[in-house]
Structure 1
Amino acid sequence: MLTYERYLALYARFAGEAGAGQPVEVTLDQLAEALFCSPRNVKLILRKLIDEGFVDWQAGRGRGNRSQLTFLHGYEAKLLEAARQLAATGEYKQAFELLGEHGGGTGARETFVAWLNGQFGYRKVRFGEDEGADMLSLPVYKPIVTLDPRNLYYAISAHMVKQIFDTLLLYDRETDKFTPSLAHAWSHDESGTEWTFHLRKGVQFHHGRELSAADVVYSLERLRGDYASGWFVRSVDSVEAVGQRTVRIALAKPNWLFPRFLCSPAMSIVPHDLAERDDEFWNRPVGTGPFRFEAWTADRFELRANPGYFKGRAHLDGVAIVTMPADTIAYSKSWEQLLMKDEAAVARPESDWEVMESVCNGCSMLTWNMRKEGPQRSAAFRQAAHLLVDRARLIRELGEDRLYPAAGFHPEERLALGPIRFDPDRAAGLLRESGYDGRPIVIGTYGLHEPDARWLQRELGSAGIAVEVRTGDHESVRERGMLGAVDALLYCVVFDEDDVSLIELYAQHGNFMREHLDGELLAWTEERIDAALGRRRPEDRARGLAEIERRLREEAHVLFLTHKKQNTFYNPHIKGVGLNSLGWIEFKDVWLDEDEPLAGSAG
């Protein structure tokens, strides 16, 4: 790759208007200066460029005769060739860095992304020793931050954890029932404080050892502490192995939602023998799940099917997740368009393709930081901001995946809660009541949420509320210098298991919502959660949890914005495409009807 970069550097310096194919006069000293090397080294570099067919060189003969250098290839063509070679070896980050350094003033980046789009989707590829492996390659714009169940915050990381690991139980949203997974049977006492689980025989971790009760004990015990997933075991008194395949869990308080806790990716079961002795385990994790870990770099994550999976082998042979630069999303495919026949049809799928449209179970919203001094500490100020946001207009003006105005966390609540009030006149009165003095408020956000923050900046600013927007990324936004320093944070929540994910907002250490609640409200919230968990009937639990959301809404601790939609276009010959509660397709179930394969599927 260094040869390409040297060629591009020389071309940019000397080709000028002549371009490729036309000789230009140049000296060895000038070449050495351009490449930051000695005249002796530049001769070696020049020889390599000649041997590999990049340039032609005619040495000047005689006094006063200068040498002539001919660039044999166009600048943009060679730049794209270099980027594609990097992509072919999985070095996507380097490819985009190369394009960023050398592609200024050209359309190379857009052309490269268009080419890259054609590499995504369901394809037949060489995967290891398999010449015709079924591979699903998907682009994403949010990085996979961790594969450790103990530290899960984001849906993309949680989904990848689900591919590698399994949980004791599974929750079926359609039937509202629990189904066996690693545990084939379970029971509880009458108080809801003691739960016993019986493990399947013969379940193998990817490294070949059989699952045992000791793995369950270790996996739950390691969650204790101020970790993202520590709240799941807050009320666990003890976890005990009763024989090789039975586990008994004792709780300090009744928790009738405990089986649902055990379905969360955060409660995945890991092999104690590897995880407790190897600090590098989480960079190359081993589980019992439908896919085995294959590779993980800054820009590519690969999984390979687990042939001995106890619930049946995946139809796919492998999955590759490619992290694309966020600023390419305007002209890239999203992974939801993963199964298009060709990249030219992204915006207009063919009539025989199917579309899966769903409303994301969650919302975009803004939480006010009640642990920091500022105008947001005033309930009147927060109510004024709520009344100044015309959510219907926000949706019309920003469009894209924004679907409905949000009055609460869940899309179905919008009908029960009625129209969302937009009242600038009442807001003006509340601002005066709050004593707002014009001090700017700082709204923090990250990634794809920045347009919404800029929209709020403009709208609130026109009503007299000065707004500064501070942006970060998925990692920096959690740092105290960001999360604790802003007056409000704009982000999106997506719920996996409804009640569990709702509790997670308030109970998870590091969760944006929890970190912005003041001490009194947080203590009250935890009391409400414990009371709800002690109620056996689901409708009673739901009412208890609804009290928390109602108070947050009435006191305007949360400024709900929009509910979003998700469209997935796919070729009907690709089967098993369905979205799970995390908004992702279940990789294990995807397969190709080979009676009529995808056009261009060989690659």
Structure 2
Amino acid sequence: MRQLNRLNQFQRLWQPSEGAPQQATVAELAAHCFCSERHIRTLLGQLENAGWLRWRASAGRGRRGELSFLVSPDEVRALLMQQALDKGQQQSALALAQLAPEQLRHVLQPLLGGQWQNDIPTLRIPYYRPLESLTPGFLPGRAEQHLTSQIFAGLARFSDDSSQPQPDMAHRWQTDNSGTCWHFFLRPTLRWHDGESVSAEQILARLQTLMTQPMFSRLFASVAQIDAPHAWCLRFRLHQPDYWLPWRLASFGSRIAHPDEDRLGCGPFRLSHFDNSLVRLESHDGYHLAHPLLRAIEFWITPGLFDEQLGTSCRHPVQIAIGQQAQFPDLRPVSRSVSLGFSWLAIRQQGRLSAPQARYLMALIHQQGMLDALPLDPELITPSHTLLPGQQLPNFTDVAPVQLPPRLRLLYRLPVELHAMAQQLRRRLAELGCELELVFRNVKNWDDGLAVEEADLVMGDRLIGEAAEYTLEQWLRCDPLWSFILSGPQQAHIQATLDALQRSPETRDRNDALRRLFSRLVEQAIVTPLFNYRYQISAPPGVQGIQLNAWGWFDFSRAWLPPPGT
């Protein structure tokens, strides 16, 4: 890339004096730039014409001339990046941003937030880690789950305004009186991101592929057959009634990609670029619902900028700031909420803790201020008092102290705040004569190899979407964690309970039954919530239409930017 090479040469000329005027010979400047004297003369002329420096040569061979700098390399880099972005050349801009993180943030700041580029409203968000592949399925990361919801559509969807599934690729659905035959009627105007019409056969092929995956086979265990009786209709035949079926098809994991191209969907945004440095989404003109008001969303991956003082997108992954550093005094929280999801602790039922000991351990956590004393920012987390809105934790005040085993093992994973919880618990148990061994796994999801750890306690977190009760039903049904936590009879009983309640056609009855089920799990000291996160998004005044959703993000299709000068 010619511009990058020229910028690198300019940087080499700048470095000896760090921008102060220099007295140097042509030979010395050529040595700095690892080039010939002939080439350095040409380069100096080019840089002077560009307005970057001034070179005043002295007559005579070997005489020193004066080199003055009119701009800094960072200013040049920012200008070139801006010009590349104005032309829609994101890759060229990324190539120009080859800096250490502490330097990169200064160059990136003027380019972030809401920008109009060639009359194209664009939102640029710096992000603190590379994103995993954006394809439908049960993705572990919250950002990945949100982005797939912007790229891919499903037969149904959840909206921020309702816990009931809403029409998406299917404009409506119906079931027979038995609840075992469901028809989903497709919109005839569906288009993939490449402009191709969507067919029922393509959706059917993708669904059949999904059903072969272990998580989906558990989620859709009641489905006996899917077929397409008409060009605009899909039919689900079930072994037994499942009135959660529209909820299951609306969950983020059930979104539909093209059967031959995993990254091609028909959601409001199409994926135009994806690598470890840049993820770019562009609005889909053929989208079947309300069209986005932004034309592009860009995630600039800037590892090393994860610090509350650096002005990045993340003070913490649950608290996002959108804007330039110069705008930070004007940034205001535009949306806040306490997450429905929670961090949790579970006690293995065939481990070293008896039922009385398990209840005593839960009482230690909730009745002795352990959560309030965590060395964490209170603006970041809040102790949990419920698994589901409206529920209350059991009263542990009447739990009698009992002797704990001399040794216990705690297995835990991300989020990182569980490090503090693990240390707090280990210190408290040590005071009671119980040594707690900590085993950390740097993963976002459990897998079927969990049981080999032989842990007594397990900690993790659970994201909850728009439909809280249904999300927890899916957690119990699909997560391999429960086969490790519960005894065989307990797991069989819970699965039978889930199968029974899904037969109820009334949503309220299913939700109430799930609340009772989880209340029993908490009362029996099998699982308990620890803390919730405080979601927050801050933005400058110019970015409009931002409202937190259940995942701690915002619907990109609703955000918008006022035109310049208005």
State the TM-score, normalizing by the size of structure 2: 0.77
Deviation at 1:254, TM superposition (A): 0.7
1:530 maps onto 2:506 in alignment: no
Unaligned runs of 5+ in 1: 101-107, 126-130, 276-280, 598-603
Q: Note the 1:166-177 alignment, pairs <5 A.
A: 166-171=153-158, 174=161, 177=164
- 2:426 and 2:120 map into 1 onto residues whose CA distance is 54
- 2:207 and 2:337 map into 1 onto residues whose CA distance is 34
Contact 2:160 2:549 in 1 (8 A): no
Q: Aligned in 2, Cα 1:492/1:141: closer, same or farther, shift over 3 Å?
A: farther
Give the match for residue 241 of structure 1.
228
Deviation at 1:195, TM superposition (A): 0.3
- 1:3 and 1:397 map into 2 onto residues whose CA distance is 47
- 1:72 and 1:467 map into 2 onto residues whose CA distance is 63
- 1:407 and 1:113 map into 2 onto residues whose CA distance is 39
Letter in 1 for 2:387: F
Identical amino acids, percent of aligned pairs: 19
Residues 394-435 of structure 1 show CA distances to partners (whole Å, capped at 9, x for unaligned) of: 467532321x3214333543xx33777699xx6xx43x2434
Give the match for residue 453 of structure 1.
419
Give the match for residue 153 of structure 1.
140
Give the match for residue 363 of structure 1.
342
Give the match for residue 346 of structure 1.
328
1:507 pairs, out of 463, 477, 492, with 477
- 1:328 and 1:313 map into 2 onto residues whose CA distance is 33
1:124 maps onto 2:116 in alignment: yes
Letter in 1 for 2:218: W
Q: Aligned in 2, Cα 1:48/1:297: closer, same or farther, shift over 3 Å?
A: farther
1:387 maps onto 2:358 in alignment: no
SS at match of 1:346: helix
Q: Aligned in 2, Cα 1:178/1:8: closer, same or farther, shift over 3 Å?
A: closer
- 1:79 and 1:169 map into 2 onto residues whose CA distance is 48
SS at match of 1:158: helix
Deviation at 1:249, TM superposition (A): 0.8
Give the match for residue 253 of structure 2.
266
Deviation at 1:518, TM superposition (A): 3.8
Unaligned runs of 5+ in 2: none
Deviation at 1:201, TM superposition (A): 1.8
Give the match for residue 393 of structure 2.
417
1:517 maps onto 2:505 in alignment: no
Q: Note the 1:57-68 alignment, pairs <5 A.
A: none
The structure with the greater share of residues assigned to helix is: 1
Q: Aligned in 2, Cα 1:555/1:7: closer, same or farther, shift over 3 Å?
A: farther
Letter in 2 for 1:316: L
Contact 2:388 2:469 in 1 (8 A): no
- 2:177 and 2:72 map into 1 onto residues whose CA distance is 72
Give the match for residue 495 of structure 1.
465
Deviation at 1:239, TM superposition (A): 0.6
Q: Note the 1:522-561 alignment, pairs <5 A.
A: 522-561=491-530
Letter in 2 for 1:497: A
Contact 1:20 1:70 in 2 (8 A): no
Residues 6-25 of structure 1 show CA distances to partners (whole Å, capped at 9, x for unaligned) of: 8879999x88xx99656799
- 2:307 and 2:223 map into 1 onto residues whose CA distance is 44
1:590 maps onto 2:559 in alignment: yes
Residues 28-85 of structure 1 show CA distances to partners (whole Å, capped at 9, x for unaligned) of: 9xx89xx9xxx9x8999989987876999x9xx99xx9x99999779x9647866986
Deviation at 1:188, TM superposition (A): 0.8
Give the match for residue 99 of structure 1.
100
- 2:305 and 2:543 map into 1 onto residues whose CA distance is 30
- 2:73 and 2:449 map into 1 onto residues whose CA distance is 43
Contact 2:413 2:459 in 1 (8 A): yes
SS at match of 2:250: coil
- 2:349 and 2:73 map into 1 onto residues whose CA distance is 55
- 1:187 and 1:365 map into 2 onto residues whose CA distance is 37
- 2:355 and 2:411 map into 1 onto residues whose CA distance is 15
- 1:478 and 1:536 map into 2 onto residues whose CA distance is 32
Give the match for residue 150 of structure 2.
163
- 1:418 and 1:378 map into 2 onto residues whose CA distance is 15
Letter in 2 for 1:318: A
Stretch moving more, 493-502 or 482-491? 482-491
Deviation at 1:294, TM superposition (A): 1.0
- 2:454 and 2:79 map into 1 onto residues whose CA distance is 41
Contact 1:457 1:466 in 2 (8 A): no
Contact 1:361 1:410 in 2 (8 A): yes
Q: Note the 1:39-118 alignment, pairs <5 A.
A: 78=73, 90=90, 98-99=99-100, 108-109=102-103, 112-118=104-110
- 1:295 and 1:525 map into 2 onto residues whose CA distance is 44
SS at match of 2:372: helix
Contact 1:215 1:269 in 2 (8 A): no
1:311 maps onto 2:289 in alignment: yes
Deviation at 1:118, TM superposition (A): 3.9
Matched residue pairs, number? Answer: 536
Deviation at 1:594, TM superposition (A): 4.1
Contact 2:269 2:284 in 1 (8 A): yes
Q: Aligned in 2, Cα 1:314/1:345: closer, same or farther, shift over 3 Å?
A: closer
Give the match for residue 440 of structure 2.
470
Give the match for residue 187 of structure 1.
174
- 1:532 and 1:568 map into 2 onto residues whose CA distance is 37
Q: Aligned in 2, Cα 1:299/1:228: closer, same or farther, shift over 3 Å?
A: farther
Q: Aligned in 2, Cα 1:224/1:463: closer, same or farther, shift over 3 Å?
A: same
Deviation at 1:221, TM superposition (A): 0.9
Deviation at 1:203, TM superposition (A): 2.0
Letter in 2 for 1:362: G
Contact 1:206 1:288 in 2 (8 A): yes
Q: Aligned in 2, Cα 1:481/1:97: closer, same or farther, shift over 3 Å?
A: farther
SS at match of 2:298: strand
Q: Aligned in 2, Cα 1:80/1:594: closer, same or farther, shift over 3 Å?
A: closer
Contact 2:21 2:67 in 1 (8 A): yes
Deviation at 1:233, TM superposition (A): 2.2
- 1:579 and 1:410 map into 2 onto residues whose CA distance is 19
- 1:505 and 1:142 map into 2 onto residues whose CA distance is 26
Deviation at 1:320, TM superposition (A): 1.2
RMSD over aligned CA atoms reads 4.5
Q: Aligned in 2, Cα 1:164/1:345: closer, same or farther, shift over 3 Å?
A: closer
Deviation at 1:175, TM superposition (A): 5.2
Residues 189-236 of structure 1 show CA distances to partners (whole Å, capped at 9, x for unaligned) of: 111111012222222222233222212321221112334444332211
Give the match for residue 105 of structure 1.
none
Contact 1:270 1:286 in 2 (8 A): yes
